[in-house]
Amino acid sequence: MKDVIVIGGGILGVSVGYHLAASGASALLIDRRDEGRATDAGAGIITPGGDASSRNPWSRLVGEAEAYYPEFVQALRDNGVEETGYSVCGSLIVAVEEAERTAFSEASAGVPEGDGKSSSDAVVIEEGRAQELFPALDTVVGAIYEPTGARVDGRRLASAIEAAGVRRGLEVHHGSVERLEVAADRCGAVVVDGERVETDAVVVAGGAWSNAFGEQLGIGLPVGPMRGQIAHLDLGQTDTSEWTIVSGFRGHYLVPWDDHRVVVGATRETNAGYRVETTVEGMLEVLTEAIRVAPGLRGARVKEFRVGLRPATSDGFPIIGSIPKVPNVHVVTGHGPMGLHLGPYSGKVVADAILGRGDDAFAVFGVERFI
Ligand SMILES: Cc1cc2nc3c(=O)[nH]c(=O)nc-3n(C[C@H](O)[C@H](O)[C@H](O)COP(=O)(O)OP(=O)(O)OC[C@H]3O[C@@H](n4cnc5c(N)ncnc54)[C@H](O)[C@@H]3O)c2cc1C
């Protein structure tokens, strides 16, 4: 008998599992590791801009999740896991064409000018400074620099959280949860590859596959795959370790890493189902946009294309909370394009709720909103 069974070992599942185990609960995490797991393909941008003190639950969640990262990374270190894939590298929002000037003016309204060297506040910087921060840029019509912008490598972070969880007693099992045993408004067991495991509570953190449990829970879980194709470019001998993240004005971005690599992406496809495929159209889209923003990447070698299925909900907001008619089943999914940013914190929110320490600050993200 387990206190809690967590279904799914992406960033959401490992975070719930870690936080439960670190608080002394007996937790078992079961992961099928599907091809297309979003955590393995994510670009890893932690987007500044939320407000932890806001009354708006979304802004508050985004802000608290960003603020939680340094504390969480330190907690992993305290559990003996050093390599987390998280770092603060700064981020730029750049307009590169005259046609983007109006959008840039709106985005930069109220942002002071500066060089971003002496404060952590966002500033509008000059073209030369933007090129210094991301040397593959060419023409820059306008640039906003956020010194606090951060990135995280989803694969490394998920492994780090799992390793720290295991050190605190988390059990991890590779397998597929076929069904939940639900009777009298309670889930008392899950069936994993034909074997029944009893539990006091269940967390569904199955990413884009979470909807498979909707029928058994008597509720629709309107979450499905949003395919993302993303390219990893190798810049040879160019040192990219001091480069910043760049976002353009067409929803695409460039994320530099220490190993001479820049990751450019990504497509957001809602009509591709569960097909984990790299398409000509997808490659064209991300590479065209990358060199439009940063022509200096034109000579880079394409090292790898990754494809992931972001768990996306019908209203674009995550699902965080328990099932009204089966309250010992909790759902944490649907984090769409922001799951690496939000995941560690959302996992903590769910673990706290199970441990009886939660508040209702994020009740608005409950599954009730779809009933
Ligand atoms: C190209 C791309 C770029 C992205 N960029 C960013 C970014 O810059 N910033 C950001 O914050 N986010 C980004 N994301 C989004 C982020 O990666 C996802 O929101 C997040 O990883 C989702 O995590 P998850 O744990 O919910 O799902 P997943 O990582 O998909 O994990 C779900 C897991 O559950 C398992 N599972 C499902 N059903 C079962 C079952 N029945 N039994 C056992 N196991 C099961 C699956 O096998 C899988 O391992 C990006 C995603 C993509 C694809």
Cα-to-centroid distance, 196 and ligand 1 (Å): 26
Q: What span, in angstroms and rounded, lies between the C-alpha atoms of 313 and 306?
A: 22
Cα-to-centroid distance, 10 and ligand 1 (Å): 5
pTM over 0.95: yes
Nearest CA to ligand 1 atom 33: 8
* Straight-line distance from the first to the last Cα atom of the chain, in angstroms, rounded to the nearest whole number: 32
Q: What span, in angstroms and rounded, lies between the C-alpha atoms of 248 and 232?
A: 17
Which candidate, 303, 312, 184, places its Cα nearest to that of 232? Answer: 303
Question: In Å, what is the CA distance from 143 to each residue of 51, 110, 204, 249, 274?
Answer: 22, 14, 41, 11, 37
Nearest CA to ligand 1 atom 35: 8
Q: What span, in angstroms and rounded, lies between the C-alpha atoms of 170 and 13?
A: 12
Cα-to-centroid distance, 225 and ligand 1 (Å): 10
Query: Rounded to an integer, what is the distance from CA 15 to the centroid of its chain?
Result: 12
User: Per CATH, which fold does 2-82+153-222+315-370 belong to?
Assistant: FAD/NAD(P)-binding domain (3.50.50)
Cα-to-centroid distance, 362 and ligand 1 (Å): 21
Helix locations, the chain, DSSP H = 11-22, 38-41, 57-78, 101-108, 127-133, 154-167, 280-293, 339-354
**Residue recorded with tokens 């060199």:** 291
Whether the CB of 338 sits within 6 Å of ligand 1: yes
Phi and psi of 365, rounded to 5°? -90, 10
CATH 3.30.9.10 residue window(s) in the chain:
91-147+225-312
* Residue 267 contacts residue 310 (beta carbons within 8 Å): no
CATH 3.50.50.60 residue window(s) in the chain:
2-82+153-222+315-370
So what's the pLDDT on residue 116? 86
Whether the CB of 332 sits within 6 Å of ligand 1: no
Nearest CA to ligand 1 atom 4: 42
Burial of 308 (0-12, 13-18, 19+ CB in 10 A): buried
SS3 content of the chain, % helix, strand, coil (to 5): 30, 30, 35
Which ligand 1 atom is nearest residue 341's CA?
11
β-pairing, 150-152 with 86-88? antiparallel
So what's the pLDDT on residue 359? 86
Question: In Å, what is the CA distance from 169 to each residue of 124, 166, 366?
Answer: 48, 5, 29
Nearest CA to ligand 1 atom 26: 207
Q: Can you give the pLDDT of all 371 residues of the chain as single tens digits?
A: 889 999 999 999 999 999 999 999 999 999 999 999 999 999 999 988 889 999 999 999 999 999 999 999 999 999 999 999 999 999 999 999 999 999 999 999 999 999 888 888 999 999 999 999 999 999 999 999 999 999 999 999 999 999 999 999 999 999 999 999 999 899 999 999 999 999 999 999 999 999 999 988 989 899 999 999 999 999 999 999 999 999 999 999 999 999 999 999 999 999 999 999 999 999 999 999 999 999 999 999 999 999 999 999 999 999 999 999 999 999 999 999 999 999 999 999 999 999 999 888 999 999 999 98
Question: In Å, what is the CA distance from 272 to each residue of 213, 216, 220, 268?
Answer: 21, 26, 21, 10
* CATH for the stretch 91-147+225-312: 3.30.9.10
Q: What span, in angstroms and rounded, lies between the C-alpha atoms of 309 and 361?
A: 28
Cα-to-centroid distance, 336 and ligand 1 (Å): 8
Cis peptide, bond prior to residue 266, ω within 30 of zero? yes
* Residue 90 contacts residue 119 (beta carbons within 8 Å): no
Whether the CB of 269 sits within 6 Å of ligand 1: no
